[in-house]
Amino acid sequence: MKNKTLRQIGAKQESKNMSKNTPAEIATNKPAHEIRINGLRATIWKNDTEKGPRFNTTFERSYKDGEEWKTSDSYGREDLLLLAYMAKEAFAWIAKQPTK
């Protein structure tokens, strides 16, 4: 009997989920809205469901490592108030969107 690791199971599930999307669907998966302030970005994603659109928000910080730009989801003390403000703005934008 073979023991599957969680990574193998996750990879198999991910490939199943990705196979449902056509290349055109993958290419058009663009953010519904973005908010950027001082190297921080809140990205709002729209998911159409049977009950109407649902929105999710991701946050990331951009920084330069030598000559290369990178992103992180780790934030310093100086970022926290901006993140709170961006979360408030994301909430306000989502609240204005039609529900059907």
* DSSP run (H or E) holding 60: strand 52-65
pLDDT digits (tens, 9 = 90+) for 18-35: 445 555 555 568 999 999
CB-based contacts of 55, cutoff 8 Å, min separation 6:
32, 44, 45, 46, 47, 94, 97
pLDDT digits (tens, 9 = 90+) for 38-83: 999 999 999 999 999 999 999 999 999 999 999 999 999 999 999 9
What torsion, rounded to 10 degrees, do the Cα atoms 10, 16, 20, 22 define? 80
